């Protein structure tokens, strides 16, 4: 009897995983397929924008003697 309940629990869990997996694929299947093909999911025209990164200038830390001792 325990084997029957174990089998039933396994089959219910398997069925639940299939239902949840189908729901996920229904919602985001197009995005997953586009990602596997290596193309964007939504083809949008992006304007070329130049981004200029400014390097941060590092200032030397001015610490007092007690802060240096604590470290």
Q: How far apart are CA 63 and CA 57, in angstroms?
A: 18
Distance in angstroms between the alpha carbons of the first and the last residue of the chain: 66
pLDDT at 25: 86
pLDDT at 27: 86
- Rounded to two decimals, the pTM is 0.44
The domain spans of the chain are 1-40
pLDDT at 28: 85
pLDDT at 43: 57
Query: pLDDT (tens digit, 0 to 9) for every residue of the chain, 71 residues total?
Result: 999 999 999 999 999 999 999 998 888 888 888 888 888 766 555 556 666 666 666 776 666 667 666 66
Residue 31 neighbours by CB under 8 Å, 6+ apart: 41
């Amino acid at each position: 009897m325990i084997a029957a309940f174990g089998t039933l629990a396994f089959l219910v869990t398997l069925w639940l995983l299939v239902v949840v997996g189908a729901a996920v694929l229904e919602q985001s299947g197009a995005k997953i397929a586009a990602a596997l093909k290596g193309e964007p999911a939504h083809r949008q025209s992006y304007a070329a924008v130049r981004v200029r990164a400014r390097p941060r200038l590092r200032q030397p830390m001015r610490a007092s003697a007690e802060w240096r001792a604590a470290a």
